[in-house]
Amino acid sequence: MTFLYHDTLLLGPAGTVSVGFTERRLDLGDLAPPATRDAALAELAAVTGATPYLMHQVHGTDVLVVEEWDAPTWDPHVDALLSTEPGRALLTRAADCVPVLLAADTGAVGAVHAGREGVRRGIVPAAVERLRALGADRVRAWVGPHICGRCYEVPESMRAEVAAAVPETHATTSWDTPALDLGAGVRAQLDAADCAVVEVGGCTRELPALHSYRRDGADAGRMAGVIWRAA
């Protein structure tokens, strides 16, 4: 398997954290046929050597530490997963929203799904704050491919609502209509949280190698941002 983007970060005594962003060959969407998604998860497990963890993303602000989940089945309705233990591959899925991966100097890792509502309500700062509550000092973030401000057209009222909370999201499309730049909003939130940021880049609507709901509608699959620390 080849990631669209792959990186590693040496954390000293805490070990090495790896990150990757998949492309459209894999479909990890909720609407993908079970066999398709199972095959993608199996491939990720083989490549990472870790157990993949998916969340049921709901455009909210809830953050879950994997080790604190105590329900009988695994189906958390959250938009950020954190883990303090090695051997877990955390996934955030997107087809225009902003996938964000986090690594702390303690070895804790996180995967965050930041859509329009998540950016407005602050899911990324909430995840960073939870990492710091777990003992993190330095946090690095990877901001994955997402729809750009030139392509994400929205009604003027929606742009005003989101920009009132996160001014950096205010944008205009390439055809001069109201738009949102969710990536700019996420970057501003990460800067305010004093995180080092790696921007992977790439507009999902413009690049055929990426899944995009705005481009493909209901036929769009879901790519994944994946972060793991080897056991």
| pLDDT for the residue numbered 67 | 96
**Three-state SS at 190:** helix
**Amino acid, res. 197:** V
Percent of the chain exceeding pLDDT 90 equals 89
64 beta partners: 81
pLDDT band at 98 (very low <50, low <70, confident <90, very high): very high
Give just the sign of the alpha carbon dihedral 172, 173, 178, 179. Answer: negative
| pLDDT for the residue numbered 31 | 85
Instruction: Using the predicted structure, report yes or no on whether residue 230 has a pLDDT greater than 90.
Output: no
All domains in the chain, ordered by first residue:
5-229 (3.60.140.10)
Distance CA 139, CA 178 (A): 33
Instruction: Give strand ranges (E) for the chain.
Output: 5-10, 16-21, 51-53, 63-65, 80-83, 88-94, 98-104, 109-114, 139-143, 170-172, 178-180, 196-199, 223-229
Distance CA 214, CA 216 (A): 6
Instruction: Using the predicted structure, report yes or no on whether residue 2 has a pLDDT greater than 80.
Output: no
